[in-house]
Amino acid sequence: MYDLHVSLDALADFDEIIDVRTPMEFAEDHIPGALNAPVLNNEERELIGTMYAQESPFKATRIGAALVARNIAKHLESQFADRPRTWRPLVYCWRGGKRSGAMTSWLNMIGWPARQLRGGYKTYRRDIVQALDTLPQRFDYHVLLGPTGTGKTRLLQAIGQTGAQVLDLEALASHRGSLLGALPRQPQPSQKLFETRLIHALRRLDPTQPVFIEAESSRIGRVTLPKSLLVTFHQGRCIDLQASLDERVAFLLQDYATLFDDPENFKQQLARMIGLHSKKEIAGWQAMIDADRREALFTELLNQHYDPAYARSQDSHFSHADTALPYILHPNVTDLTEQAAMLLERLAEH
């Protein structure tokens, strides 16, 4: 067995990272940048596991070995066919056992100096969990507050374009954060994959420089923010973004336009607000969808749902909300870089 313990900081020492687990395991979470080259697919792993438990460990091992050999051969003939002689991959499976051991052995017999991650994904995941408790606390956060439609995410991205450090949680979560924030044709990551993305994003940041972040609740869609991050950025310096109602409605008409591509699904999402709003009020909003009264709908949603919810939540969550720096933003400008630069200048002055 060719095995080598690799820390998170040493992953870049390899030319490629090969995850030999099943596509289902890979989809739940994986080391960022890893290539999925399963030695058993989802159905094969389930078959072998059942055979091992219910029939015979020997039979399961024999049949499993044949399947693994066939799948490795397929990868050698396809995904790995163009790799150079000096290619140096790191291979891992669930625990650093037979699956990654088989792939690593074959790669080394061919002549590639492949290595196996001792402990596999399980060890990697343990490192991620440990980092979640401490790493988010190392940074000084500047928090963008502001009600829905003020363009917080667009401004955050523009701040990043100026060269300042940003942590875009909604990009990591593939979700805009609100009840209607699901992104078209972009499923959210699992909780584990979100945490992996978060830790790798934080590791790229400099703790000596401020990190700009958008105000979020404890959940973004279906993923939950780690407590260590919530507690720390809730204590950060706050910027209160302000925009007129007309500008905010115009912003939503652009940013949420895809909701009208599937009116029935949009109406179902609004129905989830029953309990927060009366059935009569929800029915009225759904009728606006049918009538394509977009501007009227977003105006009512802001006035009746989003703004009251925002007023109830922000002061209680952020320690320095009462001393937030007010900043008027025009979110519908094509390029917000100039407004981002002006904000950074104002922050430097105060």
Active site residues: 93
Q: From its phi and psi, is residue 116 left (phi > 0), alpha (psi between -120 and 50) or beta?
A: beta
Q: Residue 214 is encoded by which pair of tokens?
A: 């958008």
DSSP label of 187:
P
CB atoms closer than 10 angstroms to residue 55 = 11
Please give the Cα distance from 216 to 222 (Å, whole number): 13
Which helix (H) or strand (E) is 105 found in, with range? helix 98-110
Q: Residue 201 is encoded by which pair of tokens?
A: 């994003």
Q: Which of 299, 303, 297 is nearest to 285 (CA)?
A: 297
Per the listing, tokens 């929800």 go with 282
* 219-220/223-224 β-pairing: antiparallel
Please give the Cα distance from 202 to 206 (Å, whole number): 8
Which helix (H) or strand (E) is 126 found in, with range? helix 120-134
Please give the Cα distance from 212 to 233 (Å, whole number): 10
CB atoms closer than 10 angstroms to residue 217 = 13
